[in-house]
Amino acid sequence: MLRYRGVKQALEAVSQLDAFPKVKEEFVEATRVGGTLSLISRLVIIFLIYHEVTYYLDSRLVFTFKPDTDLHSKLKVHIDLTVAMPCKSIGADILDSTNQNVFSFGVLQEEDTWFELCPSQRVHFDYMQHHNSYLRQEYHSIAEILYKSDHAVVYSMPERVIIPQRPHDACRIHGVLTLNKVAGNFHITVGKTIHFARGHIHLNSIFANTQTNFSHRINRFSFGDHTAGIIHPLEGDEKIFDNGQLMMQYFIEVVPTDVQKFYSHTQTYQYTVRENSQLIDIDKGLQGVAGIYFKYDMSALRVIVRQDRDSIAQFIVRLSSIIAGIVVISGLLSKGAHLLMDLCCSSSSNRNAKLVKSSAMESSEKFVKGSSIIVS
């Protein structure tokens, strides 16, 4: 029982411990200054609480880098481009540093079409081109907005409305390939290819008299699954060439990227690209095979984009400190205002007292002078 009383007394002592003075309401004098400061302080508290809650709910992005140790996973690439040559005259192939059989990567579909777009398709492609160009230029300033949003890219080209009355002059190459995470070369050249165990050969000699035109339009070229915030630089790119004997090269560095949001985790890829075009002129020593080449390589670093916010404990501490700080400051301002008013009132009362005293002395002096005149 004695031990119980001791614990109870200790709890009562702690519960009565308070750093703030407790004064009953009937003993508190209400003033206009105090009421005004109380109203202002409550409005400020509501305003700051609103912004603090908004800041807490709005997450921030944290970018980190680490070596990419996942060397055995596969690399998925989405391709959709149009070349200004019939499908019978060109071939699309891919070869990586492992010399693996290309048939295990997947199959790209070849579809005869016309290179010139109809008006509705041109409007769609121009919009996508302008949109992607703007995102590339302003990426550093809007990256956080893109990652937090559900930004999506419209890849599907509208159906052709006007059918040209001429033979097909272009080839649409599209599909999905699953590649090894090693350096490789995806290329489109004149002629078809024959594949064998250690590579492939191009049968372009029988197409020597074929007029070549490697003008092309890229509707989609991306690695991995689509994720908001990832910009693919080649999408919406269009190249028009006057000379058919040209080798167009794209040098691509693929960067593994993990996007970790609060409720989802996506492993995808982004890439940077450099391009180079070279005319082929054997007489000038400029040798090569005309075509379009996408030479890609893997980055040794992995980018981790993590959506983060403060813990609930930090949020409560900040919220409490804001409320307590405003209350303390308003109390200090109230005391300072009352002190200033007391000083002003005391100085005014002293001045009035002096005026009353001086007027009384003057009246008494006048009375004394009047009495002396009557006596005389």
Taking only the tens place, the pLDDT of each residue in 157-188 is 788 888 888 899 999 999 999 888 888 889 89
The answer to whether residue 38 scores a pLDDT higher than 90 is: no
pLDDT digits (tens, 9 = 90+) for 269-278: 999 999 998 8
The answer to whether residue 4 scores a pLDDT higher than 60 is: no
Region class of 127: left (phi > 0), else alpha (psi between -120 and 50), else beta? alpha
Residue 105 — pLDDT band, cuts 50, 70, 90?
confident
State the chain's mean pLDDT as an integer: 79
Q: What integer is the mean pLDDT of 175-202?
A: 78
Of 95, 88, 89, whose CA–CA distance to 186 is shortest? 95
Which amino acid, residue 376? S
Q: At what angle do helices 139-148 and 119-137 cross, to 10 degrees?
A: 110
pLDDT at 218: 93
Of 202, 198, 176, 177, whose CA–CA distance to 188 is shortest? 202
Residue 327 — pLDDT band, cuts 50, 70, 90?
confident
Tell me the two tokens of residue 269. 């890829």
Q: What integer is the mean pLDDT of 20-34?
A: 63
pLDDT digits (tens, 9 = 90+) for 338-352: 788 777 777 666 565
- The region of weakest confidence among 112-126, 144-158, 237-251 is 144-158
Do residues 230 and 138 touch, judged by C-beta distance below 8 A? no
Separation of alpha carbons 94 and 219, rounded Å: 19
Residue 151 — pLDDT band, cuts 50, 70, 90?
low
In the beta sheet, which residues pair with residue 218?
81, 237
More confident residue, 287 or 234: 234
Compute CA 138 distance to the chain's CA centroid, rounded to the nearest angstrom: 11
Region class of 171: left (phi > 0), else alpha (psi between -120 and 50), else beta? beta
Where do the structural domains in the chain lie, given as residue ranges?
1-58+323-332, 62-308
pLDDT at 216: 93
Whether pTM > 0.75 for this model: the answer is no
By three-state DSSP, how is residue 235 classified? coil
